[in-house]
């Protein structure tokens, strides 16, 4: 998608198109829409990062709470967003056997009890084994360092670049 097309989007269309680049947080594209015209994709990302980093800790935690558990109830119920479904599928989270599902449930529960929000990792960039290992390791941390902005960046690229590729 050409940046001029992005800049010409109405507020409603912009929020609809980019409303899930940060999981279930349409507030974020709504907040940055007024910064148009954007120079390029990197400029959009920079505004999103700046907005997220400007949030108080409670707001940042709120963004994290919007994310589903990996291989959790949303997956089982079929209520994952399209983006999360694709990302979890690519990482092998949608094909866990019963022992792996039980392990993920236990790790997810422990993580949420410890930190107050779900474990967030860029599933698209990790294998099932990597996810389990990192989830286990992060449970030992005092405070989690999360990957929301990495997820956002990949989702933005998916929206903008997929449109360009379909025109080639």
Question: What pLDDT score was predicted for residue 168?
Answer: 46
Report mean pLDDT in 10-residue bins for the chain, 168 residues. Answer: 95 96 95 97 94 91 92 95 94 96 96 91 91 91 60 81 56
Answer yes or no: do 40 and 105 share one domain: no
Q: Number of H helices and number of E strands within the chain?
A: 10, 0
Is it true that the peptide bond before 37 is cis, omega within 30 degrees of 0? yes
Which CATH number characterizes residue 142's domain?
1.10.3330.10
Answer yes or no: do 76 and 103 share one domain: yes
Answer yes or no: do 8 and 41 share one domain: yes
pTM of the model: 0.79
Question: What pLDDT score was predicted for residue 146?
Answer: 46
DSSP, res 123: G
Active-site residue, 53 included:
no
Which residue in 35, 47, 53, 67 is the catalytic one? 67
Answer yes or no: do 77 and 140 share one domain: yes
Answer yes or no: do 72 and 140 share one domain: yes
Answer yes or no: do 91 and 133 share one domain: yes
Query: Buried b vs exposed e over 81-94: b needs ≥16 C-beta within 10 Å?
Result: bebbbbbbeebbbb
Answer yes or no: do 76 and 133 share one domain: yes
Answer yes or no: do 29 and 92 share one domain: no
Answer yes or no: do 120 and 154 share one domain: no
Answer yes or no: do 83 and 132 share one domain: yes
The boundaries of the domain holding residue 13 are 3-62+149-167
Provide the number of structural domains found in the chain. Answer: 2
Question: What pLDDT score was predicted for residue 148?
Answer: 65
Answer yes or no: do 48 and 87 share one domain: no
Question: What pLDDT score was predicted for residue 144?
Answer: 47
- Directed axis angle between helix 41-54 and helix 148-167, to 10°? 160
């Amino acid at each position: 998608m050409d940046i001029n097309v992005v800049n010409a989007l109405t507020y409603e269309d912009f929020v609809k198109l980019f409303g899930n680049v940060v999981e279930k947080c349409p507030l974020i594209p709504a907040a940055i829409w007024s910064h148009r015209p954007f120079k390029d994709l990197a400029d959009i990302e920079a505004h999103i990062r700046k907005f997220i980093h400007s949030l108080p800790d409670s707001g940042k935690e709120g963004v994290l709470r919007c994310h589903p558990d990996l291989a959790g109830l949303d997956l089982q119920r079929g209520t994952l967003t399209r983006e999360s479904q694709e990302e979890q599928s690519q990482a092998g989270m949608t094909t866990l056997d019963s022992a792996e599902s039980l392990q993920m449930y236990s790790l997810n529960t422990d993580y949420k009890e410890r930190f107050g929000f779900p474990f967030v990792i860029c599933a698209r960039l990790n294998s099932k084994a990597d996810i389990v290992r990192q989830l286990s390791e992060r449970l030992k941390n005092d405070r989690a360092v999360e990957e929301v902005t990495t997820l956002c960046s990949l989702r933005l690229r998916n929206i903008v670049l997929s449109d360009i590729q379909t025109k080639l």
